[in-house]
Amino acid sequence: MKKVLLFCIAIFITTLTFNNSNAQDVKQVNLKDSVIVTAEKNLPVPQVSSIATKLFIPLKDIPLSVSVVNNSLINNQNNLVLGDALRNIAGVNTQTGNGVHDYFIIRGMNSLENSLILTDGTLEPEVTYYNLYNVERVEVLKGPGAFLYGSNPLSGTVNLVRKQPQFRNFVNLQSSYGAFNSVRNSIDAGYGSTETGLAARINLLWEDADNYRDDKENEILAINPSVTYFAGKDLTFNLNFEYINSKYKPDAGIPLVADNTTFQLNKIADVDRKTSFQTPIDYSDQKIIRAKLYTDYKISENVTFSNKMYYSQLDWKSTGTLLNGAYPTQAGTIVVRSMSKLDDVRDLFGMQNEFSFKFNTGKITHKVIAGFEWSVLKEEYSYDVATVIPPVSLTNPVNQPADYNALMSPYLAGDVTNTVFAPYIIDHIKFSDKLQMIIGMRYDIINFENKAKNYLADREYDNLSPLAGITYSIVKNVSLYANIGQAYAPPSSQVIGDDREAERSTQYEFGVKQKFFDGRLNVDVAYYHLEKDDISIPSADGLSRQQGDMLSKGVEVEIRMEPLENLFTFISYAYSDAKMTKFNELIRSQVGNGQSVSFIANRDGNRPAFAPEHLLNIWCTKEFSNGIGIGGGVRYIDNQYIHINNAFELDTAFLVDAIVYYKWNKFKFTVNFKNITDKEYEMRGFGASSVIPAAPRSVYGKINLSL
């Protein structure tokens, strides 16, 4: 109650502080990865994106698969974290990482090992939930993105474009309450003066929720001030700082139950879906700092220089119970458990220097970005494990008094410095109104050093990442495109004593982009063929071996349209054929009563975890002249395996959501309905031995005040 009262006081003070002004589309300054405007024109049907080329090019002219989820769709669907927004993207399956961080699969490949997340065009080293309280839009580049962004984006790159200062005064206050005692309050306020060239903005978030599962409450506090200053018509500075303190309770879900004779985990435990099997000491606390200073200097009409300095820190401390399955015994079925403890501090400092040029060679026009990135990632971590902790009864999971920390043993430790120097160049070539081309490449020189005692694993890598794409307009507003590219991913900093080569991916893709009725209907169709080689496979003995290859191919369709005034529809569909073409895994298997054996398992031909063949998402909203709006959507998720062993498969899920809202004066009242049919379905738990029940039917109410 005290926190709610404090928030109400903050609303009152903020309301007195700022003057009301009407938003007008007046002035726009294009920085390569963001737009600073006097007022935001939030187009319901996205038309441009910067992630693919660092240049604002119409989506129909980009010879790559690029998708955008803008703020209006984020708000209508009540999307709170990155995974919620990504459900709108064809070929993306969103899951969770033990209930404490975003985790998703793009084109059959998981985000931890195969994707890269950026904020405002610069690297994010964190594993966290990316809250959307300060995000203007989410951009996704599917396929290899190393030609611009360096290591790791084998299957996808996600860019969160945060809300930037505007040259007007405004306040937006939002408060919501809903299922599971979820309280979420936010403030978005800004000040701007065109006379002084100074604009400032601040976004704040406070959230407290119990969650739908027992003992899984979370609390988040975040603040994000930013300032833009025009020091003359040719020089711009943008300073952005963000601090986040998030506290979650980890969740390994509910266990799978072993067969009485084979001991194979083959069914979900028949218990209350809210039941928790965690220990009382489980927690996950993250403190995140992001600081960025961007400078743009317009040297001439055709030449611009940009400098981006960025720093981020993740301080992550957690202890989590892991469920290794439920096994029958003479005394009843018990849940076998283990535990991990992480203390991890990561500091990333980096800088990008870029020149952008516009010039002609005869009748051919060029837009070129040439630059280099330098970054240093320092990470100190310790990872302790308890391979066995006291089991609990499946039907009555009461934790007996125990000193769980005393059971922990050191497992991994690191004092890592990872230094990267990488020049890159990209050229957008326009031969004519019909024919355009993009050529880009980046050369990364990486020095990896681990100073931790007994964990020396110094390595050096150098990698060239090329990409080429071409677009041809067969008729007005209908374009064919094709591209080919490569990317790489060096081994994790938590690899010990294993001198491995970088993992690599190669993709070729072709498709068609169609834009009709002045952009009111946009249809994109893509076919891709994506190969990943030299996959590192974590084994039961703690080492990683390089003995895996993977192939993913499929078709993706995205439709964005406004068939009638204020009627917006978004449709995405993906067919994915993903399989492991080579995969030998050393595993340790439970044989009952906590005993285990180790053996080599051949997974050739198996499907990756959480990579369903079919994914369909439809969302539609209609706003009437009287201020009432309605909307709804469906999501179909095909059968999916929970582990590479393909031993247990989740059933299909068909989910239905809806929204009703009313705009009155400066207020907007919204009610969101989630999982209307109360469908029971499951998400990613721990490996092959547990799953997390997804939330049941739930309702959330929200009040928005714009001044």
pLDDT digits (tens, 9 = 90+) for 610-637: 999 999 999 999 999 999 999 999 999 9
* Residue-level pLDDT at 8: 40
* Selected residue with higher pLDDT from 50 and 309: 309
* Residue range 237-265: mean pLDDT, rounded: 92
> Tokens 């070539």 correspond to what residue?
429
For the cut 90, the answer to whether the pLDDT of residue 470 exceeds it is yes
Residues 550 and 531 sit within 8 Å (Cβ to Cβ): yes
Q: What single-letter amino acid sits at 7?
A: F
Residues 643 and 687 sit within 8 Å (Cβ to Cβ): yes
- Distance in angstroms (rounded) separating the CA atoms of residues 139 and 89: 10
* Residue-level pLDDT at 412: 84
Q: Note the pTM of the prediction, 2 decimals.
A: 0.89
493: left (phi over 0), alpha (psi -120 to 50) or beta: alpha
Task: State whether residue 179 is helix, strand or coil.
Answer: helix
Residues 345 and 312 sit within 8 Å (Cβ to Cβ): no
* Residue-level pLDDT at 10: 41
Lookup: tokens for 286: 């993250």
- Distance in angstroms (rounded) separating the CA atoms of residues 267 and 270: 9
* Residue-level pLDDT at 494: 53
pLDDT bracket for residue 566 (50, 70, 90): confident
* Residue-level pLDDT at 524: 94
Helix/strand/coil percent split, the chain, to 5: 5, 65, 30
Residues 6+ apart with CB under 8 A from 472: 434, 435, 436, 479, 480, 481
Residues 424 and 442 sit within 8 Å (Cβ to Cβ): yes
- Distance in angstroms (rounded) separating the CA atoms of residues 225 and 202: 4
For the cut 60, the answer to whether the pLDDT of residue 538 exceeds it is no
Summary mean pLDDT of the chain: 87
pLDDT digits (tens, 9 = 90+) for 424-464: 999 999 999 899 999 999 999 999 888 876 555 678 888 99
Residues 6+ apart with CB under 8 A from 668: 661, 662, 703, 704, 706
pLDDT digits (tens, 9 = 90+) for 21-63: 333 333 344 444 444 444 444 455 666 677 888 887 888 888 9
- Distance in angstroms (rounded) separating the CA atoms of residues 65 and 155: 11
**8-state DSSP, 194:** T
Residues 123 and 145 sit within 8 Å (Cβ to Cβ): no
* Residue-level pLDDT at 547: 66
* Residue-level pLDDT at 346: 95
* Residue-level pLDDT at 459: 80
Residues 289 and 428 sit within 8 Å (Cβ to Cβ): no
* Residue-level pLDDT at 414: 84
φ/ψ of 689, rounded to 5, equals -120, -5
* Residue-level pLDDT at 2: 40
For the cut 90, the answer to whether the pLDDT of residue 703 exceeds it is yes
- End-to-end CA, the chain: 26
pLDDT digits (tens, 9 = 90+) for 140-158: 999 999 999 998 888 999 9
* Residue range 248-259: mean pLDDT, rounded: 94
Listed residue (266, 270, 195, 263) closest to 229, CA to CA: 195
* Selected residue with higher pLDDT from 457 and 83: 83
Q: What percent of the chain has pLDDT over 90?
A: 68
- Distance in angstroms (rounded) separating the CA atoms of residues 690 and 96: 13
* Residue-level pLDDT at 590: 55
Bridge partners of 105, per DSSP, are 93, 110
- Distance in angstroms (rounded) separating the CA atoms of residues 530 and 109: 10
Compute the half-sphere exposure of residue 575: CA atoms within 13 Å on the CB side of its CA: 5
For the cut 80, the answer to whether the pLDDT of residue 497 exceeds it is no
For the cut 90, the answer to whether the pLDDT of residue 520 exceeds it is no
- Distance in angstroms (rounded) separating the CA atoms of residues 535 and 544: 9
* Residue range 392-405: mean pLDDT, rounded: 91
* Residue-level pLDDT at 19: 36
The helix/strand count (H/E) of the chain reads as 5, 41
* Residue-level pLDDT at 20: 36
* Residue-level pLDDT at 126: 76
Compute the half-sphere exposure of residue 169: CA atoms within 13 Å on the CB side of its CA: 9
Q: What percent of the chain has pLDDT over 70?
A: 87
For the cut 90, the answer to whether the pLDDT of residue 534 exceeds it is no
Residues 6+ apart with CB under 8 A from 362: none
Q: Give buried/exposed letters for 1-28 (b at 16+ CB in 10 A, else e).
A: eeeeeebeeebeebeeeeeeeeeeeeee
